[in-house]
Structure 1
Amino acid sequence: MPRFPAACLTALLAVLALAGPLSSPALAADGAAEVKADVAACRPLEAPAIPLLPTGADVVSVHANAYATEPAANGAFARADTAARLVDGRDLEAQLAAYLRCDTPFMRLTHGQLARLADEIPKAAGDGRDASPVGVFLFGWSSGHDALVVRPGIDRPTDLSGATIAYPEKGRPLDLLARILSDAKAAAGGDWQPPTLLATRRASGLEGDAPAAVFMRNADVDAVFVTAPEAEVLTAGGVGTGAEGSVRGAEVLLSTRSLSRALGEVLVVRADYLKANGAQVAALVQALLDAEEEVREDVLKQLVPWDKVAAILLGSAERAAEAEALWKGVETVGLEGNKTWATASHPLSFTRLVGDTGRFLAERQMVGTVLEVTTAGWAWDDLGGDLFDTRAARISGFDTQAADAATRRMQSEGTLDDSTLLTFTINFEPNQADFPASRYAGDFRRVIDLAATYGGAVMTVEGHTDPTRYLVMKYREGQPENVLRRQRQSTLTLSLSRAQAVRRAILDFADSSGVPLDASQFVVDGRGIEDPASGLCGAPEVPACPDSFKAGDPAPPRTEEEIRANMRVVFRMVNVEAESDVLTPVVNW
């Protein structure tokens, strides 16, 4: 997560606490739908209002308007021969009301917040009024700005089974809530118990019924979704001590530094306004694309006037350091990211993400319907013009050697399981050397989905083999130690080659599916017979091995099914947020 200057944390939290309506400390279980409001007809607006949130993504809008809130004579909006006003969008209810009245045709929110408003956005009227939200711009992804903080005893997402979790009812973390719990449920299988969700009306802050405040004073709350500065307070920057507002033993289980493509910062427009004013909306989006590129360049050249950004986003020019920290908590995506976002078949598309979170909310009866959304259908390359976006090329996001060294160190220290977010397995046949997509398409799609969404986590691909032949050589044939050593090495080599074959097959399948992955995210490991599914002799959960077997020997499989279970490739999503040398900085130019 981005580190916020200690002297600025209190001030920043005070600003963030204004996000969303304030309410009494009462908690609501899973939320409830509100009454729909009437939809007013839209009129042409010379300078429509674009809402702002106190996030790094909104630096793009501020830059596009030349670091002013009223229409500016220069800046990207002016160069695109259009204009906009920038307004406070922290109160989502106020945003929605203005949107339905068409005081502004835009809403600035996350995919999950949009899905949460499904019951409050009426269907199109027969007279041309249509407030259906159309996705027009993806600013980027939270990359460390948001986190899940947990109490001791919760070491991985599957431990959230049956837990009590606090979250802001219509706040930013809804996408994280849906994604983390959905993945944990899939990994836990039949052992999963639905968590109890406590929805707070207040979105952020350390007082009242804000999630962080509820977590601080209620020991029965096991986990909480918060912003990075709140997480810093709760965990004392590492593990909470109980002093200075921290919660004893509290840690960050997962943040958007690992789950780096889950929480998207988006701009939507009313369908009727887009239909009547398509050229204006396109010009505004073109200006935002230009501004995103310019901001990235200005950040590298240290030309961004952070005091002006702070004055607009945080209410005071003296908070320049916080504004710069906010920028470090987002990954903007520009032209290439928006092309992906507008492709409905992509796992990171607007329609997919709103739909996935919407279905999760509907299953929990947090909404009564799943919102149907579309994008504007633009030719993005035409909108992008002459933009030089190197993200069209593949840039490694990981130092492969450092990632390999980190996972091997975790393995040798016995901490790999503690750093593992999710695992799943595919099996293969004896003597199988290739992994055709025709057979493994479903498994490969699962890998693609996880790798695309957990963009800041390393995915290890572990090859495992069955130990039966080795055990026969050792205990029935009595082969000498040098022969057994060669056999173990052979299993390591074979399992590594299988892991490499699976990695190649997945990357090729991803390319052919139009979802190219970062190859540096995948670390292969040949485990041989070191960690069989049948277990190791002497382990508490393993049935008794024959008396002649030594502790630490692979446990002999007892059935054909157990033999086949040993022949597997295991995928792990490994949290490397604490490994500063594993993730390489994004190269923009």
Structure 2
Amino acid sequence: MNRTSVLALACAVGLSGLLHAPAFAVEYTTARPLSQVVTAPVKACGTFPQLLMPGIAWGADEATILANGAVVTVPPTGKPFVVTQPGSIFAQEGLSVKFYREDSVIRQLEDLLACRTPFLRMTDGMLAQAGDVLSRIPVVAIYKLSDSVGGDVLVVRDRINELKDIKKVAMQVYGPHVAYFATLMKTAKVDLGSVQIVWVKDITEGDTSSQYPAKALREDPTVDAAFVISPDAAALMSDKTESGGVKGAHDLFSTKLCDTCIADLYVVRKDWADANPQTLQKVVHGLLRANEATQKLFAEKATRKDEFEKLMKASAKMLLDDVSLTGPAADMWGDLRMAGFRGNMQFFTDDAWPRNFNRVMQGAGEAMTALKLISKPATFATAALDYAALSTGLSDAAGVDVSRWNKVAVEALMRDRKQKGTENDGEKFYLAVPFKREEAKVDASLYVKEFDEVIDLAATYGGLLITITGHVDPQSYLKAKYGNGTPKQLSDIRQIANTISGKRAFALRDALLKYAESKGVPLDPNQFEIIGAGFMKSSKPGCKIENGDITVSCAASSALEMQSMRRAEIRAVNVTAEMEQFEAIVVKQ
């Protein structure tokens, strides 16, 4: 379960200048940029005997609830809240915090401007949409909670097979999917202006008055696609129309593939941060400790039932408005990946990382500018935190490397795909690198642009499998086959071809990994699948396979064509729908 109606920072005001569809049951919004909606004056910050800290209905906020002691207070009127309990992580940090949920981006911005709280809690894309508003009061980013990993989905009708096919898409105004959409379109090299966006005020159904993307896809036949949360995606893709299914609907992308496309963040007013550096340090250290404590509690929930139940009840009440929804509250944890200490270090301090804070915000800002939601991309600073001090007492600060990819499972999947002839289904990128006869060397300097693109894809789409397939030309084999070569001679040639093609694939992978490392971007070797195809995957048009073997139709017609067959190919392939799970493989350094 993910990004419920209470999650989405939903607000009833839409965005301007965008066309309406004909009258359907779903209601689309008119719209204005946030700078035209949030016009409250900026007020100076006073002292905070008790820090007010907003959250949203997102699984990562369960760690903040735990940091404060997981005891919910329900006032006679107003929203429930969690105040710091004796012995809690925030209490150990010397803090007094009142955690509350605020899902409206407009109210969060108004509270920030008035300094009722110095904190904002939103996604990177939402932050970019608030750029013009925040030009009036500088903020600094302090903490990355998590990435969405599977909880946000682009569902399309059966007539849609690629992003370029989409002519009209529905999504929530000021929601988490705008920058996500822009990232996908940029990767696919599709102009944002080629797609009409129809905006709805909610992200999912809260009551019968809700207007949300899944409803648009169900009720407006002119809508090709909708950005939805995972429960709505499951309903849309079900076979039962009475359960909300749309015939032929399928997922084109999800954040299981694009697993760095939506980051959840805390930012604070810079004037408050400058005046309270020690308090800010304690807040971030408490959040980091709470992240590890919550992950440990989930891992040990079978033996710590009372503690786990306490957190789930508090989370269900705070995030889902119903203390009985402990199961869905626990499920919310499954659609995200917590950033932790290392993730925060990489996101905020690693200039080489393709998806670092500055690059993510620049890309989001450019997209919002193109959509006329802001006047220009905003530049956001990061807080001057002492990461050496923040690492104290954290296990995530030790040398632990985690891979999402289970190599055994990947190999099994690719064997199955090979048998079905679907190895390249879901292809998102292709590059062919030529080789000379019997050569297996790659000069990375010849492929800088292409390698940079692969690095960016691997960093952005952690659920994208990168296959590297080596090939040789079939001339020697076909000459022997049709020239009375013996079975042993044919077998020997086939074995040599498989060996050379495998070496070419490994050489290309190693060159790419070495190049990435030279740029300070270590890639996960387990994200690469190496295939030595020999001469069985000829690039010759009309090549026919008979009885499991190539025929003379696969032979090169010229020396130039023969040279082109000596190659290794990089393909980035979406396999997330077929992988039941990505098992974390932890390697102690």
What's the counterpart of residue 183 of structure 1?
187
* Distance in 2 of aligned mates of 1:135 and 1:570: 37
Pair 1:442–1:14, CA change in 2 (3 A): closer
Deviations 1:524-577 (CA, angstroms, capped at 9, x unpaired) = 1112333334433369xxxxxxxxx98794363668378437623222233233
Deviation at 1:467, TM superposition (A): 4.1
**In the alignment, structure 1 residue 47 sits paired with structure 2 residue 54:** no
What's the counterpart of residue 275 of structure 1?
274
Aligned partner of 2:248: which letter? Answer: G
Pair 1:464–1:538, CA change in 2 (3 A): closer
Pair 1:213–1:490, CA change in 2 (3 A): same
What's the counterpart of residue 76 of structure 1?
89
- Could you state the TM-score of these two structures normalised by the residue count of structure 2? 0.85
Instruction: Return 444-453 or 493-502, whichever deviates more.
Output: 444-453
The equivalences for 1:314-353 within 5 A come to 314-342=320-348, 343-353=350-360
Pair 1:561–1:84, CA change in 2 (3 A): farther
Pair 1:563–1:242, CA change in 2 (3 A): farther
Deviation at 1:136, TM superposition (A): 0.4
What's the counterpart of residue 133 of structure 2?
120
What's the counterpart of residue 574 of structure 1?
574
Q: Given that residues 473 and 535 in structure 2 are in contact (C-alpha distance below 8 angstroms), is that contact kept between their aligned partners in structure 1?
A: yes
* Distance in 1 of aligned mates of 2:369 and 2:563: 41
The equivalences for 1:422-571 within 5 A come to 422-431=428-437, 432-467=439-474, 470=477, 483-537=489-543, 553-554=553-554, 556=556, 560=560, 563-564=563-564, 567-571=567-571
**Cα root mean square deviation, aligned:** 3.1
* Distance in 2 of aligned mates of 1:524 and 1:75: 49
* Distance in 1 of aligned mates of 2:553 and 2:405: 35
What's the counterpart of residue 111 of structure 1?
124
Pair 1:55–1:550, CA change in 2 (3 A): closer
**In the alignment, structure 1 residue 354 sits paired with structure 2 residue 361:** yes
What's the counterpart of residue 545 of structure 1?
none
Unaligned runs of 5+ in 1: 5-11, 124-130, 540-548
- Residue of structure 1 aligned with 2:385, choices 378, 398, 418: 378
- Could you state the TM-score of these two structures normalised by the residue count of structure 1? 0.85
* Distance in 1 of aligned mates of 2:189 and 2:300: 45
Deviations 1:185-220 (CA, angstroms, capped at 9, x unpaired) = 27xxx9x99333222232332764311111111122
Deviation at 1:293, TM superposition (A): 0.9
The equivalences for 1:242-261 within 5 A come to 242-261=241-260
Match of 1:138, SS state, is: strand
Pair 1:140–1:430, CA change in 2 (3 A): same
* Distance in 2 of aligned mates of 1:201 and 1:530: 53
What's the counterpart of residue 63 of structure 2?
60
- Residue of structure 1 aligned with 2:171, choices 167, 170, 193: 167
Pair 1:116–1:392, CA change in 2 (3 A): farther
Pair 1:569–1:217, CA change in 2 (3 A): same
Pair 1:393–1:513, CA change in 2 (3 A): farther
* Distance in 2 of aligned mates of 1:465 and 1:560: 14
Match of 2:389, SS state, is: helix
Deviations 1:440-459 (CA, angstroms, capped at 9, x unpaired) = 33333322222222223322
* Distance in 1 of aligned mates of 2:205 and 2:463: 27
**In the alignment, structure 1 residue 412 sits paired with structure 2 residue 425:** no
**In the alignment, structure 1 residue 140 sits paired with structure 2 residue 141:** no
Aligned partner of 2:271: which letter? Answer: D
Deviation at 1:391, TM superposition (A): 7.0
* Distance in 2 of aligned mates of 1:364 and 1:215: 22
Q: Given that residues 557 and 563 in structure 1 are in contact (C-alpha distance below 8 angstroms), is that contact kept between their aligned partners in structure 2?
A: no
* Distance in 1 of aligned mates of 2:287 and 2:92: 11
Deviation at 1:107, TM superposition (A): 0.9
Q: Given that residues 143 and 257 in structure 1 are in contact (C-alpha distance below 8 angstroms), is that contact kept between their aligned partners in structure 2?
A: yes
Match of 1:219, SS state, is: coil
Q: Given that residues 430 and 572 in structure 2 are in contact (C-alpha distance below 8 angstroms), is that contact kept between their aligned partners in structure 1?
A: yes
Deviations 1:200-246 (CA, angstroms, capped at 9, x unpaired) = 2323327643111111111221211111111121122xxx4423111
* Distance in 1 of aligned mates of 2:552 and 2:381: 56
Percentage of pairs with the same residue: 26
Deviations 1:506-539 (CA, angstroms, capped at 9, x unpaired) = 3333334332222222111112333334433369
Q: Given that residues 544 and 551 in structure 2 are in contact (C-alpha distance below 8 angstroms), is that contact kept between their aligned partners in structure 1?
A: yes
What's the counterpart of residue 21 of structure 1?
12
Q: Given that residues 536 and 555 in structure 1 are in contact (C-alpha distance below 8 angstroms), is that contact kept between their aligned partners in structure 2?
A: no
Deviations 1:68-91 (CA, angstroms, capped at 9, x unpaired) = 422433311111112222122211
Aligned partner of 1:456: which letter? Answer: G
* Distance in 2 of aligned mates of 1:371 and 1:562: 52
**In the alignment, structure 1 residue 216 sits paired with structure 2 residue 218:** yes
Deviation at 1:497, TM superposition (A): 1.0
Aligned partner of 2:265: which letter? Answer: V
Q: Given that residues 21 and 91 in structure 1 are in contact (C-alpha distance below 8 angstroms), is that contact kept between their aligned partners in structure 2?
A: no
What's the counterpart of residue 295 of structure 1?
294
Pair 1:483–1:141, CA change in 2 (3 A): same
Q: Given that residues 164 and 197 in structure 1 are in contact (C-alpha distance below 8 angstroms), is that contact kept between their aligned partners in structure 2?
A: yes
Match of 1:338, SS state, is: helix
Q: Given that residues 434 and 566 in structure 2 are in contact (C-alpha distance below 8 angstroms), is that contact kept between their aligned partners in structure 1?
A: no
Deviation at 1:470, TM superposition (A): 4.8
Q: Given that residues 50 and 85 in structure 1 are in contact (C-alpha distance below 8 angstroms), is that contact kept between their aligned partners in structure 2?
A: yes
Q: Given that residues 496 and 527 in structure 1 are in contact (C-alpha distance below 8 angstroms), is that contact kept between their aligned partners in structure 2?
A: yes
Pair 1:247–1:440, CA change in 2 (3 A): same
Deviation at 1:264, TM superposition (A): 0.9
Unaligned runs of 5+ in 2: 15-24, 72-81, 302-306
* Distance in 2 of aligned mates of 1:346 and 1:333: 14
The equivalences for 1:189-208 within 5 A come to 194-205=194-205, 208=210
Deviations 1:300-327 (CA, angstroms, capped at 9, x unpaired) = 1113221111111111210111110001
Deviations 1:91-114 (CA, angstroms, capped at 9, x unpaired) = 111111111222111111111111
Match of 1:152, SS state, is: coil
* Distance in 2 of aligned mates of 1:537 and 1:441: 32
* Distance in 2 of aligned mates of 1:385 and 1:481: 66
Deviation at 1:501, TM superposition (A): 1.7
* Distance in 2 of aligned mates of 1:561 and 1:365: 49
Aligned partner of 1:569: which letter? Answer: E
Instruction: Return 97-106 or 502-511, whichever deviates more.
Output: 502-511
Aligned partner of 2:465: which letter? Answer: V
Match of 1:389, SS state, is: coil
Pair 1:387–1:550, CA change in 2 (3 A): closer
What's the counterpart of residue 7 of structure 1?
none
Deviation at 1:160, TM superposition (A): 3.6
Pair 1:241–1:496, CA change in 2 (3 A): farther
What's the counterpart of residue 87 of structure 1?
100
Pair 1:33–1:137, CA change in 2 (3 A): closer
Instruction: Return 106-115 or 430-439, whichever deviates more.
Output: 430-439
Match of 1:528, SS state, is: coil
Deviation at 1:389, TM superposition (A): 1.4
Q: Given that residues 426 and 569 in structure 1 are in contact (C-alpha distance below 8 angstroms), is that contact kept between their aligned partners in structure 2?
A: yes
Deviation at 1:145, TM superposition (A): 1.6
* Distance in 2 of aligned mates of 1:105 and 1:388: 29
